[in-house]
Amino acid sequence: MGTHFAIKVFTCMKMTLSLIKADIGGIGGHTKPSEKLLETVRNFVKEKGEYLLTDHRVYHTGDDVAILMTHTNGEGNEKVHQLAWDAFVAGTETAKSEGLYGAGQDLLKDAFTGNIQGMGPGVAEIEFEERPNESVMAFSMDKTEPGAFNLPMYLGFADPMWCPGLIVAPEIMQGFTFEIIDTENTEADKVIRLHAPEDLYDIAALLRETRRYVVKSIYSRKYPDEHVVSVSTTRLKNIAGKYVGKDDPVALVRVQKIFPATEEIGACYRNAHFVAGDCRGSHQQPLMPVTINSPSSVHYCVPIVQGITFSMRNGILTEFVDVFDDPFWDHIREKASRKSIEMREQGFVEPSMLPREELEYGGIGERLDKLESRFEIKPD
């Protein structure tokens, strides 16, 4: 009688990281969500996501609530998106009960329709097979638009002056593929794929127009199936047809080994580069790196970016490291403050204030339209 051996086959299950963020209410204006609001969202996700999610975290950037989730359901999963939407709806009810400003501001649809994309909240997602030591960075911005990520992503994945690994690390020497979206096309995603380094000038030509062309995803050239970067590209005004707040984007970036290093990506935010947004979404201001769970600035809501890095194994997240919480970044915050003051001293005159076609409020356009009829053509 023969002996039978049971052979167990292990398959490498793909994990999905989903980062979904929305402005659903702030204390005394666009500052930060209340602790009660945050607790409502945390408790909702913990209770309703128990059998759906592997792990999750809830935190805030300015007045935006972010939900970071790991699961095995893939990108764009209806149940995961429904969970986030319902958590924001629950948080909105708490915001209303406390009289918070802008309660439910980013929830632009009356009911969930199967995918949170195009409904207001910012969404970044990556599905991948975990490496033995999976390292990820998550960035979230407040008071600005998705194009604010264009420069840091270009520097980190296409410029060896900023990312020396592009010329010294064999795993990333072949470069990366940029997927860039035209946000003005609202019928469907209109994207182009360009390869660094050979398409470098074409990538630069598109990414300079931050209000239209935005980095959506980045992929490895050496390992084409490896999705490295995901950026939320939601433009709220394209959904609502009017200004309802800035887009406040998020991004997920896988780092280390076959990707740029954590410090190479983090360094790309030391420019405090000028971005569109700020108070009333109508000005050019520097992007200030701040610590996690910071409130929005009351100096005209200067645009901010927060960054965290973490490891994960089998979908379980470690604690976060706050990447902008060390003495070096105090210097960058001082730099951003100086740049902000200098630009703001120019008041309403371009380029301090955005051009008419980019202003998020309609008052200037309405005023100029009224004045048009008062112009006279003088005879020669």
User: Catalytic: which of 101, 182, 243, 325?
Assistant: 243
- Classify 199 as helix, strand or coil: coil
DSSP 11: -
d(CA 177, CA 157): 9
Active site residue 23: yes
Comparing C-alpha atoms, which of 145, 143, 178, 144 is closest to residue 159?
178
Q: Based on the residue annotation, tell me whether 325 is a catalytic residue of this protein.
A: no
Helix/strand/coil for 124: strand
- Give the up-direction half-sphere exposure of residue 232: CA atoms within 13 A in the CB hemisphere: 32
Starting at the edge strand that comes first in sequence, how are the strands of the sheet with 14-23 ordered?
A: 55-61, 64-71, 14-23, 122-129
Termini Cα distance of the chain: 113
Distance separating alpha carbons of residues 344 and 351, to the nearest angstrom = 10
CA–CA distance, 260 with 168 (Å, rounded to integer): 11
Instruction: Give yes or no: 32 in active site.
Output: no
- Active-site residue among 59, 246, 269, 278? 246
Give the active site residue among 23, 63, 106, 248.
Answer: 23
| Dihedral sign of CA atoms 85, 87, 88, 94 in order | positive
Closest listed residue to residue 231, CA positions, set 312, 150, 293, 304: 150
Do residues 174 and 195 make contact, with C-beta atoms less than 8 angstroms apart?
no
- Beta-bridge mates of residue 163: none
* Tokens 């600005």 found at: 144
Residues serving a catalytic function are 23, 243, 246
